[in-house]
Structure 1
Amino acid sequence: MPVIVHIFTVLFAILCFMIIKKKRYKETPFICFIMFVSFISFGTASLIALFAPYGEILSYPCMIIALGLLLFLVGVNDLYSIFRCTERIEGIYCGYNTYYGSHGVHSYAPVFEYTHDGVLYHEQTAQTVSHRRLTKNMTEGNRYSIYINPKCPSVYILFRRLRASGVICLMIGAAFMGAGAVILYALFPVLFK
Protein backbone atom coordinates (compact mmCIF):
# COMPACT_ATOMS: atom_id res chain seq x y z
CA MET A 1 0.00 0.00 0.00
CA PRO A 2 2.78 2.55 0.69
CA VAL A 3 3.80 2.08 -2.94
CA ILE A 4 0.45 3.56 -3.97
CA VAL A 5 1.11 6.57 -1.73
CA HIS A 6 4.46 7.12 -3.45
CA ILE A 7 2.86 6.74 -6.90
CA PHE A 8 0.20 9.35 -6.05
CA THR A 9 2.91 11.67 -4.72
CA VAL A 10 4.93 11.39 -7.93
CA LEU A 11 1.83 11.87 -10.12
CA PHE A 12 0.73 14.98 -8.23
CA ALA A 13 4.33 16.28 -8.29
CA ILE A 14 4.31 15.96 -12.09
CA LEU A 15 0.92 17.70 -12.26
CA CYS A 16 2.17 20.55 -10.06
CA PHE A 17 5.32 20.90 -12.16
CA MET A 18 3.22 21.13 -15.34
CA ILE A 19 0.89 23.67 -13.71
CA ILE A 20 3.85 25.87 -12.78
CA LYS A 21 5.60 25.39 -16.12
CA LYS A 22 2.51 26.29 -18.18
CA LYS A 23 1.39 28.96 -15.67
CA ARG A 24 -2.11 27.45 -15.42
CA TYR A 25 -2.36 28.68 -11.82
CA LYS A 26 -3.31 32.10 -13.19
CA GLU A 27 -6.14 30.73 -15.32
CA THR A 28 -7.63 28.07 -13.04
CA PRO A 29 -6.51 28.99 -9.52
CA PHE A 30 -8.82 26.79 -7.46
CA ILE A 31 -8.20 23.61 -9.47
CA CYS A 32 -4.46 24.29 -9.19
CA PHE A 33 -4.91 24.79 -5.45
CA ILE A 34 -6.55 21.34 -5.26
CA MET A 35 -3.59 19.79 -7.10
CA PHE A 36 -1.04 21.48 -4.81
CA VAL A 37 -2.94 20.46 -1.65
CA SER A 38 -3.18 16.89 -2.97
CA PHE A 39 0.57 16.83 -3.64
CA ILE A 40 1.30 18.10 -0.14
CA SER A 41 -1.08 15.65 1.54
CA PHE A 42 0.09 12.60 -0.42
CA GLY A 43 3.70 13.77 -0.02
CA THR A 44 3.21 13.95 3.74
CA ALA A 45 1.73 10.44 3.75
CA SER A 46 4.68 9.28 1.65
CA LEU A 47 7.22 10.82 4.05
CA ILE A 48 5.43 9.23 7.00
CA ALA A 49 5.57 5.86 5.25
CA LEU A 50 9.31 6.25 4.67
CA PHE A 51 10.64 7.83 7.84
CA ALA A 52 8.19 7.61 10.75
CA PRO A 53 8.29 4.75 13.22
CA TYR A 54 5.59 2.32 12.14
CA GLY A 55 5.33 4.47 9.03
CA GLU A 56 4.00 1.71 6.83
CA ILE A 57 1.05 1.18 9.17
CA LEU A 58 0.47 4.93 9.62
CA SER A 59 0.52 5.50 5.86
CA TYR A 60 -2.86 3.76 5.49
CA PRO A 61 -4.94 6.28 7.46
CA CYS A 62 -2.85 9.15 6.09
CA MET A 63 -3.60 8.02 2.54
CA ILE A 64 -7.30 7.68 3.37
CA ILE A 65 -7.29 11.24 4.73
CA ALA A 66 -5.41 12.53 1.66
CA LEU A 67 -7.84 10.79 -0.70
CA GLY A 68 -10.78 12.14 1.30
CA LEU A 69 -9.33 15.65 1.13
CA LEU A 70 -8.95 15.34 -2.64
CA LEU A 71 -12.56 14.18 -3.08
CA PHE A 72 -13.86 16.83 -0.70
CA LEU A 73 -12.04 19.60 -2.57
CA VAL A 74 -13.39 18.33 -5.90
CA GLY A 75 -16.90 18.73 -4.45
CA VAL A 76 -16.01 22.18 -3.12
CA ASN A 77 -14.81 23.09 -6.62
CA ASP A 78 -18.32 22.43 -7.96
CA LEU A 79 -19.78 24.76 -5.32
CA TYR A 80 -17.05 27.32 -5.94
CA SER A 81 -17.79 27.32 -9.67
CA ILE A 82 -21.51 27.87 -9.12
CA PHE A 83 -20.91 30.86 -6.84
CA ARG A 84 -18.09 32.39 -8.90
CA CYS A 85 -19.32 31.84 -12.47
CA THR A 86 -22.11 34.39 -12.53
CA GLU A 87 -21.72 36.31 -15.78
CA ARG A 88 -23.78 34.86 -18.61
CA ILE A 89 -22.29 35.23 -22.09
CA GLU A 90 -22.57 33.55 -25.47
CA GLY A 91 -19.88 31.12 -26.54
CA ILE A 92 -19.25 29.09 -29.68
CA TYR A 93 -19.24 25.34 -29.10
CA CYS A 94 -16.01 23.93 -30.60
CA GLY A 95 -16.33 20.25 -29.71
CA TYR A 96 -15.29 18.25 -26.68
CA ASN A 97 -12.37 16.43 -25.13
CA THR A 98 -12.86 12.79 -24.19
CA TYR A 99 -11.36 11.30 -21.05
CA TYR A 100 -11.33 7.53 -20.81
CA GLY A 101 -11.97 5.79 -17.52
CA SER A 102 -12.11 2.20 -16.44
CA HIS A 103 -14.84 -0.24 -17.41
CA GLY A 104 -15.76 1.70 -20.56
CA VAL A 105 -16.79 4.84 -18.66
CA HIS A 106 -15.90 8.02 -20.51
CA SER A 107 -16.34 11.64 -19.55
CA TYR A 108 -16.72 14.47 -22.01
CA ALA A 109 -15.66 18.06 -21.38
CA PRO A 110 -17.07 20.61 -23.84
CA VAL A 111 -14.74 23.21 -25.36
CA PHE A 112 -16.03 26.72 -26.03
CA GLU A 113 -14.59 29.80 -27.67
CA TYR A 114 -15.76 33.15 -26.34
CA THR A 115 -14.67 36.75 -25.93
CA HIS A 116 -14.59 38.67 -22.66
CA ASP A 117 -13.27 42.23 -22.37
CA GLY A 118 -11.73 41.97 -25.84
CA VAL A 119 -9.77 38.79 -25.05
CA LEU A 120 -10.52 35.60 -27.00
CA TYR A 121 -10.67 32.42 -24.90
CA HIS A 122 -10.65 28.84 -26.18
CA GLU A 123 -11.18 26.78 -23.02
CA GLN A 124 -12.57 23.50 -21.77
CA THR A 125 -15.05 23.46 -18.91
CA ALA A 126 -14.39 21.56 -15.71
CA GLN A 127 -17.95 20.21 -15.85
CA THR A 128 -18.30 16.94 -17.67
CA VAL A 129 -21.39 16.24 -19.75
CA SER A 130 -22.89 13.00 -21.03
CA HIS A 131 -22.18 12.10 -24.64
CA ARG A 132 -25.92 11.93 -25.34
CA ARG A 133 -26.45 15.48 -24.11
CA LEU A 134 -23.52 16.73 -26.20
CA THR A 135 -24.60 15.05 -29.42
CA LYS A 136 -28.33 15.63 -28.96
CA ASN A 137 -28.41 19.21 -27.72
CA MET A 138 -25.24 20.80 -29.07
CA THR A 139 -23.94 21.35 -32.58
CA GLU A 140 -20.38 22.38 -33.30
CA GLY A 141 -20.15 26.01 -34.42
CA ASN A 142 -23.43 27.11 -32.78
CA ARG A 143 -23.70 29.65 -29.98
CA TYR A 144 -24.79 28.65 -26.48
CA SER A 145 -25.05 30.41 -23.14
CA ILE A 146 -22.25 29.77 -20.68
CA TYR A 147 -21.45 31.29 -17.29
CA ILE A 148 -17.97 32.68 -16.73
CA ASN A 149 -16.11 33.83 -13.66
CA PRO A 150 -15.72 37.61 -14.24
CA LYS A 151 -12.53 37.69 -12.14
CA CYS A 152 -10.99 34.73 -13.99
CA PRO A 153 -12.71 34.54 -17.41
CA SER A 154 -10.94 31.34 -18.48
CA VAL A 155 -13.09 29.47 -15.94
CA TYR A 156 -16.66 28.79 -17.02
CA ILE A 157 -19.52 26.38 -16.49
CA LEU A 158 -22.46 25.34 -18.64
CA PHE A 159 -25.09 24.96 -15.94
CA ARG A 160 -25.49 26.90 -12.71
CA ARG A 161 -26.82 24.10 -10.58
CA LEU A 162 -25.25 21.75 -8.10
CA ARG A 163 -24.81 18.32 -9.60
CA ALA A 164 -25.27 15.09 -7.70
CA SER A 165 -21.64 14.14 -8.37
CA GLY A 166 -20.46 17.24 -6.49
CA VAL A 167 -22.58 16.42 -3.46
CA ILE A 168 -21.43 12.78 -3.56
CA CYS A 169 -17.78 13.88 -3.71
CA LEU A 170 -18.32 16.14 -0.69
CA MET A 171 -19.98 13.36 1.32
CA ILE A 172 -17.52 10.61 0.39
CA GLY A 173 -14.57 12.95 0.95
CA ALA A 174 -15.85 13.92 4.40
CA ALA A 175 -16.47 10.25 5.23
CA PHE A 176 -12.94 9.26 4.12
CA MET A 177 -11.34 12.07 6.12
CA GLY A 178 -13.40 11.13 9.17
CA ALA A 179 -12.61 7.43 8.83
CA GLY A 180 -8.90 8.14 8.34
CA ALA A 181 -8.84 10.40 11.39
CA VAL A 182 -10.62 7.78 13.53
CA ILE A 183 -8.20 5.06 12.39
CA LEU A 184 -5.21 7.33 13.04
CA TYR A 185 -6.57 8.21 16.49
CA ALA A 186 -7.10 4.52 17.26
CA LEU A 187 -3.58 3.59 16.11
CA PHE A 188 -1.66 6.15 18.15
CA PRO A 189 -2.23 4.61 21.61
CA VAL A 190 -1.49 1.13 20.27
CA LEU A 191 1.73 2.02 18.43
CA PHE A 192 3.15 4.69 20.73
CA LYS A 193 2.77 3.40 24.31
Structure 2
Amino acid sequence: MKIDAIYLGYNTYKAPTGGYGIITSYSPVFRYEFNGKQYEVQTFETLTKKEVCKLIVGNKYEIFINENKPQKFIIYKSVRFSEVITLLMGIFFSSIGIIFLL
Protein backbone atom coordinates (compact mmCIF):
# COMPACT_ATOMS: atom_id res chain seq x y z
CA MET A 1 0.00 0.00 0.00
CA LYS A 2 1.36 3.40 -0.97
CA ILE A 3 1.37 6.08 1.76
CA ASP A 4 3.12 9.38 2.51
CA ALA A 5 5.95 9.38 5.04
CA ILE A 6 8.30 12.01 6.45
CA TYR A 7 12.01 11.42 5.91
CA LEU A 8 13.97 11.68 9.18
CA GLY A 9 17.50 10.79 8.09
CA TYR A 10 19.49 7.59 7.63
CA ASN A 11 21.61 5.03 9.43
CA THR A 12 25.04 4.17 8.05
CA TYR A 13 26.45 0.65 7.92
CA LYS A 14 29.98 -0.38 6.98
CA ALA A 15 31.00 -3.90 6.01
CA PRO A 16 34.37 -5.32 4.97
CA THR A 17 34.56 -6.74 1.46
CA GLY A 18 37.04 -9.52 2.11
CA GLY A 19 40.26 -7.59 1.61
CA TYR A 20 38.96 -5.19 -1.00
CA GLY A 21 38.04 -2.32 1.29
CA ILE A 22 34.82 -1.40 3.03
CA ILE A 23 31.34 -1.01 1.56
CA THR A 24 29.18 1.70 3.10
CA SER A 25 25.41 1.44 2.80
CA TYR A 26 22.68 3.79 3.96
CA SER A 27 19.23 2.87 5.31
CA PRO A 28 16.69 5.72 5.38
CA VAL A 29 14.41 6.25 8.38
CA PHE A 30 10.82 7.48 7.90
CA ARG A 31 7.88 8.43 10.13
CA TYR A 32 4.37 7.58 8.99
CA GLU A 33 0.92 6.79 10.30
CA PHE A 34 -1.14 3.74 9.43
CA ASN A 35 -4.49 2.74 10.98
CA GLY A 36 -4.13 5.36 13.71
CA LYS A 37 -0.69 4.16 14.82
CA GLN A 38 2.50 6.12 14.24
CA TYR A 39 5.67 4.38 13.06
CA GLU A 40 9.27 5.59 12.99
CA VAL A 41 11.10 2.89 11.10
CA GLN A 42 14.23 2.24 9.09
CA THR A 43 13.74 0.55 5.73
CA PHE A 44 15.48 -2.77 5.20
CA GLU A 45 16.55 -1.47 1.79
CA THR A 46 19.98 0.06 1.53
CA LEU A 47 20.70 3.02 -0.71
CA THR A 48 23.83 4.47 -2.22
CA LYS A 49 25.25 7.76 -0.95
CA LYS A 50 24.01 9.41 -4.17
CA GLU A 51 20.45 8.15 -3.61
CA VAL A 52 20.29 9.09 0.08
CA CYS A 53 21.66 12.59 -0.64
CA LYS A 54 18.62 13.27 -2.85
CA LEU A 55 16.30 12.87 0.15
CA ILE A 56 15.61 15.99 2.22
CA VAL A 57 15.00 15.67 5.97
CA GLY A 58 11.45 16.77 6.85
CA ASN A 59 10.06 16.28 3.33
CA LYS A 60 7.25 13.86 2.51
CA TYR A 61 7.91 10.90 0.22
CA GLU A 62 5.74 8.03 -0.97
CA ILE A 63 6.68 4.65 0.45
CA PHE A 64 5.11 1.21 0.09
CA ILE A 65 4.14 -0.51 3.35
CA ASN A 66 3.13 -4.09 4.02
CA GLU A 67 -0.46 -3.78 5.30
CA ASN A 68 -0.09 -6.98 7.35
CA LYS A 69 3.18 -5.77 8.92
CA PRO A 70 3.03 -1.96 8.69
CA GLN A 71 6.46 -1.57 10.31
CA LYS A 72 7.94 -3.05 7.10
CA PHE A 73 8.18 -0.87 4.02
CA ILE A 74 10.13 -0.24 0.85
CA ILE A 75 10.91 2.95 -1.01
CA TYR A 76 11.30 1.55 -4.51
CA LYS A 77 8.72 -0.85 -5.85
CA SER A 78 10.79 -1.80 -8.89
CA VAL A 79 14.03 -3.78 -8.97
CA ARG A 80 17.10 -1.59 -9.27
CA PHE A 81 20.08 -2.41 -11.49
CA SER A 82 22.42 -2.58 -8.48
CA GLU A 83 20.20 -5.25 -6.90
CA VAL A 84 20.38 -7.39 -10.05
CA ILE A 85 24.18 -7.07 -10.17
CA THR A 86 24.46 -8.01 -6.48
CA LEU A 87 22.28 -11.07 -7.03
CA LEU A 88 24.27 -12.18 -10.08
CA MET A 89 27.57 -11.75 -8.21
CA GLY A 90 26.21 -13.83 -5.33
CA ILE A 91 25.18 -16.62 -7.68
CA PHE A 92 28.54 -16.48 -9.48
CA PHE A 93 30.66 -16.67 -6.32
CA SER A 94 28.44 -19.36 -4.80
CA SER A 95 28.84 -21.43 -7.96
CA ILE A 96 32.63 -21.08 -7.83
CA GLY A 97 32.62 -22.17 -4.19
CA ILE A 98 30.56 -25.25 -5.01
CA ILE A 99 32.84 -26.15 -7.93
CA PHE A 100 35.91 -25.99 -5.66
CA LEU A 101 34.20 -28.27 -3.14
CA LEU A 102 33.62 -30.97 -5.76
The TM-score, its normalising length taken from structure 2, stands at: 0.77
Partner residue in 2 for 1:92: 6
**CA deviation map 1:92-135 (0-9, x unaligned):** 11111112345465322110011112221111112222334333
Equivalent residue pairs, number: 98
3-state SS, counterpart of residue 45 of structure 2: coil
Gap regions ≥5 residues in structure 1: 1-86, 186-193
Matches within 5 A, 1:103-182: 103=21, 105-135=23-53, 137-182=54-99
Alpha-carbon distance in structure 2 between the residues aligned to 1:171 and 1:104: 20
- Distance across 2 between alignment mates of 1:181 and 1:128: 28
SS in 2 for 1:99: strand
Superposition CA RMSD, Å: 2.1
- Identity between Structure 1 and Structure 2 (%): 37
Q: Find the residue that maps to 2:12 and give its secondary structure.
A: strand
* Residue-by-residue CA offset, 1:145-178 (whole Å, 9 max, x unaligned): 0111122211111111212232123222222332
Q: Any idea what SS the aligned residue of 1:166 has?
A: helix
| Structure 2 residues not aligned, in runs of 5+ | none
Choose 1 or 2 for highest CA Rg.
1
Letter in 2 for 1:109: S
Decide which structure has greater strand share. 2
Q: Which has the higher helix share?
A: 1
Sort the Cα spacing of 1:177 and 1:138 in 2 relative to 1 into closer, same or farther, 3 A. Answer: closer
Displacement over 6 Å in runs of 4+: none
